[in-house]
Amino acid sequence: MDGRSVEDNMPVAVIKTKSELALSEQFQAALPSLPGGPEVATHRRAAIAAFTEFGLPHRRIEDWKYTDLRTALKDPALPSVDATAKLTVADLIVALGPFMNMDAARIVFVNGHFRAALSNVTGTDTITVTPLSASFDSLSPLSTDAITALNTAFVTDGAVIDIPDGVTLEQPLLVVSLSVGRDARLSTIRNRISVGAGASATIAELYLTLPGSTVDGQTNALTEVTISRGATLTHVKALSEGGRATHLSNWNVSLGAEANYRAFQLSSGVALARNQIGVTFTGEHAKIDVSGTFLGRGSDHIDTTLTVDHAVPHCESRELFAGVLDGHARGIFQGKIIVRPHAQKSDGKMMARALMLSPDAEFDSKPELEIYADDVVCGHGSTAAELDEDLMFYCQSRGIPAAEARALLVKSFIGEAIARVDNEAVRTALEACADAWLAQDQTNSAVT
Amino acid sequence: MLEIKNLHVKLADEDKVILDGLDLVVPKGEVHAIMGPNGSGKSTLAYVLAGRAGYEVTDGDILWNGESLLEMAPDERAAAGVFLAFQYPMEIPGVAGLTFLRTATNAVRKKRGLEELTTPEFMKVVRGKAAALNIDFEMLKRPVNVGFSGGEKKRSEILQMAMLEPSLCVLDETDSGLDIDALKIVSDGVNALRSPDRSMLVITHYQRLLDYIVPDKVHVLARGRIQTTGDKDLAKELEKSGYAGFVDAA
């Protein structure tokens, strides 16, 4: 086109998609009912302005090559303003499933709103656990990330957890977010976790639904984590919001010297998930293990995008993500390890594995190492494979029928990843989640 | 009783014939050894008995107590009493040995019309059998065979065999990779399972194993069929003369 050179020098007029326009419009409609004072409202407006400028990320942006939100997010839902949806403790027990069996405190949100009646924080008197809505005074600075911008614009609640210096939280703390109801709805959660020097805790974020209420729930969850010197945090997430749910999330973690961060994410039972995890080392001799498993079938699309920033020397990072993909499911793992120029003696190892149960499933793995220091040990690997026929035969020759053998081997594959969770009660519950996902498959095959 | 009649087997995706008219009878309660040179089809025979995919039976039949095994899936054969102790036992990361044993034991019991074992019952049985095989019980809490030595893997196979209570035990090169102490433990474990109701087929390249597991009969398998049959002394003769005569014979 002859006008091309002229266009290059002009602001690009991007055509907004229907959903981008809808999100901006919905924001104007929702703003009066969203919590927080004038300062928060200002942050929200700035965030939606930034979002309006950038729009939804799409495949021509490298980080979003495999997850095009412009096409995937066709009908953005309105934030749920109804904080009164009827939900009893009995419902909660059903939703929590295996997580109900453990001795744990919990703070519960339903469709993005704190529910005191369902929460139970006994045993947490050494720490502070409050809903964000109780002290909604500010939101973090602007981000160029679209999911974060939308989170800032629409956030309604979340957990603010403060573990003072030297405190050890004995039992796990569950941060439960339930998405329920028959209508499409947006739940926007922002959690803040601060672990003081030498403190130690296990926190599990659970994004769940109730049987029969799986109608296009949309969740946007952001968790900011600060781990101080010498502190240890086991940080787990279990996602199972229903077969038509959309889940966008960010974990932004910063850890100080000699801190230890052990993270695990289980993603299953979701139509579209984009889990972004960013970890930055800010003090030397800190260690992380960020691992997870993603379980997809049907046309599920589960994306894990991870960035580990070795910004200081002498830190160690380990990552293992193991996915099981059946039907037409698509799993994505993008993992980037950055080692800054002065971050000598950095030690990073990243692994992504997928078990392909169907010829139509797809696994996209994109490991990236950006290493600017010369005295480091960094490596990555990626595999995608079908179930091992020899192992199948071995199990069957021991009398285990084919369907059971297959389930056992898939479980074994997932179990290897879940084994990295050090808290036994949480690990057992995660295994039960994986078992439930596998059992659904057996139910389905029994029907067909 | 095991009856193999005129068994012809080829690789499923190649034209290579491996077993070429094999006949063999192992009566109830007897232990028979199959010896033969490398590549004679010994392991193929073991796999075909257990029902591994990748082989095609083009002629003949395998009858176990009068019933053909050929149409049965591997797990159905296990329920019918067939057990194959692998030459190279598989590692299953992420599945604890006890879980695997219990799943297998109860699957087989269920198909045989027996009550499934409860956890306490199972634990009692497995503790006793593991102790008899000198297997550290803690080892069974670890993933199946992962990080086990050659000897530990073979003992783990014999423990599985003891738990599943088969009536036909097929031992494929169980002596391979074993030092003399491990060989003794494994052989004791196998001998403890000898009974008038149980038939065994011991496949081995070397005579050594047969000093410990003394067979009722020894068969020489070469070029896809049984070439000769004798008593335990045949194994000793083979140790001296080798298999050359059978490979070269027309």
Digit-coded pLDDT (tens) for B59-109: 999 999 999 999 999 999 999 999 999 999 999 988 899 999 999 999 999
CA B170 to chain centre: 2
Q: What residues pair up with A79 in beta bridges, in sequence order?
A: A186
Question: A244-301, pLDDT tens digit by residue?
Answer: 899 999 999 999 999 999 999 999 989 999 999 999 999 999 999 999 999 999 999 9
Q: How far is B97 from chain A (nearest CA, A)?
A: 11
Interface contact B87, partner A, CB < 8 A: no
- pLDDT for A6 beyond 50: no
For the segment A151-182, what is each residue's pLDDT rounded down to a tens digit?
999 999 999 999 999 999 999 999 999 988 87
Indicate the Cα dihedral angle A397, A402, A408, A413, nearest 10°: 100
Cα of B74 to nearest chain A Cα, Å: 5
Residue A141 in this model has a pLDDT that exceeds 90: no
Band (pLDDT 50/70/90 cuts) for residue B9 is very high
A94-117 mean pLDDT:
92
Chain A, nearest residue to B78 by Cα: A399
pLDDT digits (tens, 9 = 90+) for A32-45: 989 988 899 999 99
Going by C-beta distance under 8 Å and a sequence separation of 6 or more, which residues neighbour residue B240? none
Rg (alpha carbons) of chain A, rounded to whole number: 22
For A402, the closest of B52, B73, B164 (CB atoms) is B73
At residue A81, the pLDDT reads: 60
d(CA A134, CA A129) in angstroms, rounded, equals 11
Residue of B nearest to A416 (CA): B94
Q: Which of A320, A388, A397, A435 to mutate to test the interface with B (most CBs of B within 10 A)?
A: A397
How high does pLDDT run on average in chain B?
A: 93
Distances (CA, A) of A1 to A8, A9, A11, A313, A373: 12, 15, 17, 51, 45
CB A377 within 8 A of CB A347: yes
Question: pLDDT tens for residues A362-383?
Answer: 999 999 999 999 999 999 999 9
B108 inside 8 A of chain A by CB: yes
Summarize pLDDT for A391-400 with one digit per residue, the tens: 999 999 999 9
Asked if B55 reaches chain A (Cβ–Cβ under 8 Å), the answer is no
Question: Does the pLDDT at position A2 exceed 60?
Answer: no
Instruction: Give the DSSP H/E element, type plus range, for residue A209.
Output: strand A200-209
The string of pLDDT tens digits covering residues A333-356 is 999 999 999 999 999 999 999 999
ipTM of the assembly?
Answer: 0.95
Per-residue confidence (pLDDT) for residue B250, from 0 to 100: 41
Q: Is the pLDDT of residue A219 over 80?
A: yes
A413 to chain B, closest Cα gap in Å: 6
Classify the C-alpha dihedral B141-B143-B146-B150 as positive or negative: positive
